[in-house]
Amino acid sequence: MTGTADIQYLKGVGPKRAALLRGMGIASLADLLYTPPRRYIDRSLIKPAGRLRPGESVTVFGSVADKGVVRARRGFSIFNLLVSDDSGYLLCKWFNQPYLSERFAIGQKLVVSGMVKYDRGPSLVNPEYELIDAEDEELIHTGRIVPLHAVTAGLTTRQYRVILRCALDQYLASLPESLPAGVRSRHRLLPLAEALSLVHFPESLEQAARARRRLAFEELFYLQVLIALQRRGAQRSGTALPLADRAWRARFDGLLRFELTAAQRRVIGEISADLAADRPMHRLLQGDVGSGKTVVALAAILQAVGSGGQAALMAPTELLAEQHFASLAPWFDELGVPAALLTGSLGARDRAALHQRIADGRISVCVGTHAVIQEGVRFSDLSLAVIDEQHRFGVRQRAALRDQRTGGPTGRQPHVLVMTATPIPRTLALTLYGDLDVSVIDELPPGRVPVVTRWTAEGNRDKVYSFLAGQITAGRQAYVVYPVIEKSEKTDLKAAVTMHRHLSNDVFPTRRVALVHGRLKRAERDAVMAKFKQGAIDILVATTVIEVGIDIPNATVMLVEQAERYGLSQLHQLRGRVGRSSDKSYCILLPGKMLSDIAKARLEIMQQTIDGFKIAEKDLELRGPGDFWSTRQHGLPALRIANIMTDGQLVAVTRQEVRSIFSDQGVADPAQEELKQNLERFFPDAGQYLATG
């Protein structure tokens, strides 16, 4: 039987249990063997029955001395089992399980484990047990380090362990080794069969840790193989044209009204060199809030257009695409660069006309949503695709835009620049963006004053409003952000619409208070934002539509209502809307009355640091990588064993090993071919991820 064999045909499974296992994501032998225990219980502490103390967690070997069922009122029953050894007796009790009486026989040897209680003598309540048919039989439920696997209704942990033990005994020896011998030797990794056996049934917790390390290494290693193949497919599928016109830089520098940071200049240089190379660029640009990613992207766009090609900028939402276009349009106008906005809300006639202008090259820069890569959009000579990641686009979406072919004679592939609005810890970036080179803007523009962040209780609301009034009197502006638009009967969230009315009429009746949210028509949103930017609005009540892309230097206060409802990264993005000038700015977090420990921890972290990378790491610690950033969302297989954050060192090591094997961009050697075959065995659905590479 191979690793892909249907779980139904394993000993002890059958159709009914197979359905339960499939519901847990276990459909094959490999799925079963590579699903590790969620934790272990040490039931190896063996003590004589006559020397037990209350509160101890113990294991006792003995034999059945007596048994019986006590029937109580209302159908309640207690099954009593008296276990004896050479030192004395131990009473074991099971509630409402009278059928157990048929399972035990007087004189039967057994082992029991549990917490000792005292009931006219030592006793165990609902203990784990295992019958012993032979002195040398291996125990799997007690008397050892016992694995606890996640199970589902209708399947007990005992049943799961029996199925797993049978599978290991029957098939483990036939599973081929999956890692190259040199890799195993360099990193002192256990053989595959030994690792799979010990991760499920270790003799010690140290053994379990070594086994898990081997399997996590293997999983990350083949994840990196998948990424390497995606990267190779991207690099081989087209050749970029050299960019000859350097006048773009002089025009760009002449329009700058501020001095670029050293980090911005460095990153622009990295991107510029990529654009001029003879292979398509695939680069991730990340930087903290306010670090100036947009102007770096603009420099890249102008270089691409200066080469005679076209550029596309894709944002995850229509609102953000509109904001990008509004901020870049003045630059394009001054430089005489034909640009257009393409979104899903464009009328059919206007969309068709715009498609034609893109196809014949009359539009040099197209800004839009995913509509940019939808059917019907063809570029005349797409040289650069910029993707504003915003957590929404993964490997497959990047590949769809990257695979746009130009109508020119070379049919070349465009360069791809991915921007992310949220800082990403290094190990996570190495994995989720393994198909990309990484550039980091690690400094803020000069003159920026750190935003003062405080969280306060609901009881201080009047003081908060008073502070806002003082800032407005001083000529500043403020944001007040709410989680939702309309009041829901299912939640206690304050609605932006309702609170806008309250703030306008009751709290700040003499101030200019406006409302903006995602359901407003574009013209209405634009009008409100234009007034706010011009200073004609004092307080802007908003939902999280203002999370990114808004730059109002005179806005110095960000009040976030129901702050406990947001993740750290989102709070950090909201805070980034203020502090965009040399004026002192404030972010006030006003949570609800009931705060969990995690919510309090998030609010404290926001007070302690403004470093987006540190905040991202803390967010991962609190929420876990699965919640923070799904690998499937980014076009990568789900991980069963490895954790891309806590196994950060293994991420770096496996990446280095795989890159050394795939460093040759020519014809694949036998070692590469073997890894590609193993990849299909390890990730059965790898083909669908490579199909977009």
What pLDDT digit, counting tens, does each position of 576-605 carry?
889 888 889 999 999 988 888 888 988 999
Where is pLDDT greater, at 394 or 328? 328
pLDDT value at residue 692: 46
What's the pLDDT band for 33 if we cut at 50, 70, 90? very high
Q: CA distances (Å), 162 to each of 10, 33, 94, 205, in order?
A: 11, 13, 22, 21
Q: What angle do CA 389, 349, 401 make, to 5 degrees?
A: 25
The CATH number, out of the four listed (2.60.40.1930, 3.40.1830.10, 2.160.10.10, 3.40.50.300), of the domain defined by the range 247-441: 3.40.50.300
Q: Which residue has the tokens 């595959």?
A: 192
Q: Is residue 357 within 8 Å of 364, Cβ to Cβ?
A: no
Q: How far apart are CA 391 and CA 227, in angstroms?
A: 18
Average pLDDT, whole number, for the chain?
83
Is residue 376 over pLDDT 90? Answer: no
pLDDT value at residue 372: 81
Percent of the chain at pLDDT > 70 equals 84
SS3 state at 493: coil
| Residues 310-360: tens digit of each pLDDT | 999 988 778 788 888 988 999 999 888 999 999 877 888 988 999 999 999
| Residues 80-124: tens digit of each pLDDT | 999 999 999 999 999 999 999 999 999 988 889 899 998 888 999
What's the pLDDT band for 490 if we cut at 50, 70, 90? very low
What's the pLDDT band for 615 if we cut at 50, 70, 90? confident
Q: How far apart are CA 638 and CA 686, in angstroms?
A: 11
pLDDT value at residue 398: 60
Terminal Cα distance for the chain, rounded: 32
Prediction pTM value: 0.68
Q: What angle do CA 303, 309, 311 make, to 5 degrees?
A: 70
Q: How far apart are CA 192 and CA 92, in angstroms?
A: 40
| Residues 493-506: tens digit of each pLDDT | 567 888 899 999 99
Where are the alpha helices (H) located in 314-460, listed in sequence order? 318-335, 348-359, 395-402, 426-432
| Residues 541-576: tens digit of each pLDDT | 988 777 666 778 899 999 999 999 888 888 888 898
The CATH number, out of the four listed (2.40.50.140, 3.10.20.30, 1.10.10.10, 3.60.70.12), of the domain defined by the range 45-143: 2.40.50.140
What's the pLDDT band for 409 if we cut at 50, 70, 90? very low
User: Looking at the domain covering 452-609, what would its CATH class be?
Assistant: alpha beta
Listed residue (606, 568, 553, 620) closest to 290, CA to CA:
553
Q: Is residue 112 within 8 Å of 50, Cβ to Cβ?
A: no
Neighbours of 250 (CB within 10 A): 9
Is residue 668 over pLDDT 70? Answer: no
Q: How far apart are CA 690 and CA 693, in angstroms?
A: 5
Q: Is residue 625 within 8 Å of 428, Cβ to Cβ?
A: yes
Instruction: Tell me the HSE value of 680 on the side-chain side, using a 13 A CA sphere.
Output: 8
